[in-house]
Homo-oligomer: A and B are copies of this chain.
Amino acid sequence: MTEAQPARDGARAAGSASGRHRPRDHRSGAVADLRRIGIDPDFWYPVAVSASVPRSKTFAAVFAGHRIVLYRGGSGEVYALEDRCAHRQVPLSMGAVEGEVLRCCYHAWAYRGSGRISQIPYLPKGVDRPPRGVRAYPVREAYGLVFVFPGDPEKADAAALPELPEFDSAGYKTMAFSRTVRCHYSFMHENLLDMNHQFLHRGVLGKVQPTLLGYETGPRFVEARYLFTPAGGKKDRGAGLLSAEGLSGGRKPDVITVRTEYPYQTLQAVPEGAELPAFSLWAAYVPEDAEQRTNHAYGLLMIAKPPIPGALRLAWPFIRRFTERVFAEDRMAVEAEQRAWDEQGEDRNQEVFPLILDVREVLRANGVPLHPAPALSR
């Protein structure tokens, strides 16, 4: 899906983010600290894997400090409400699903999927039912994930869900990831886009020489293309199996294309000379807490099926273990970055890689100010 684009090595492409508005600190005039920029809520964000919301059950989800209860009615439809009973603020996710209605566990107030109160069993005569119920979020299911639209509901219909043609393709099989990472979502984008961090994975990937082939920046995206050349060293078995070439025995260099297209991120690996990707990753980093210092990473890794029938099924557990190891190393690094920021109270990065400066600008320009919201936990 991300076509290789004309790009210039070591230089910013036309349409660079640098000319656009950059949020500035009102006191000093300095550029705002990226780690204090909230993600734009006017997009569809995954907040659960579908399997976590069985029929007639609830699931406690969260978006940037807003607690959201998901529940699946008897019809199979999923609803998303503010996870607070209008009565006494007890989480509705502790409640019981009755048909398409969700009933609070405490005094049994009942809500429709629209957030309207459908019943207060003991409402005294002469007392009016509270006019407002609870907030409802637009919700959609796709790719085995439950997406909500946490921003202005009026904009939900116009906003597109991500398009993942490989997900439905018979030529690919998808491995899903869902994991909390204790860092601002921006660290995730920078991690994946800067492929010079392969030293971090030297124990899993062996020695790899990444070469930047080019990159392009627009108001809402940065895309970089790298050539990955194996340079010796022991490689995890799953690393070899993950490449389609690996499954068929080859060991050619891959062209890796990483793209942040706000607010999502993708990565595609195309073996040199091939047309279709060996694998394709889509990822979203969804803030959990109000201060957005923790994100929930949802990933869909779509892997090309090799010509030999059943080979992918055999390789599956190895690929799973390999990706888990790589992810664990990345998590260790980005969580260390967040801890440093927490301790230093500000961003002291000295970035030298131009496309990373660009993606920081994209994330800054497309984000929103963080409201001083109450902390999620004590």
Contacts and interface: CB of A to CB of B under 8 A. Distances in A.
Interface of A: 10, 65, 67, 84, 86-91, 94, 103, 105-108, 120-127, 129-130, 194, 196-197, 199-200, 210, 212, 332-333, 336-337, 339-345, 348-354, 374-378
Contacts of A87: 349-352
A340 B374 contact: no
A276 B123 CA distance: 31
A126 B10 contact: yes
A232 to B, nearest CB: 16
Nearest to A130: B350
B196 A122 contact: yes
Given A107-B199, A343-B377, 10 more contacts: A10-B125, A87-B350, A87-B352, A89-B341, A91-B340, A94-B332, A106-B199, A122-B196, A124-B212, A124-B353
Given A124-B353, A343-B375, A105 B333 contact: yes
A107 B348 contact: no
A94 to B, nearest CB: 7
A354 to B, nearest CB: 7
A343 B340 CA distance: 26
- Copies of this subunit: 3
Nearest to A103: B199
B336 A199 contact: no
B121 A342 contact: no
A126 B196 CA distance: 17
Contacts of A339: 377-378
A212 B106 CA distance: 18
Contact of A200 (B105, B337, B344, B375): B105
Nearest to A349: B88
A333 B353 CA distance: 52
Given A343-B375, A375-B343, A348 B89 contact: yes
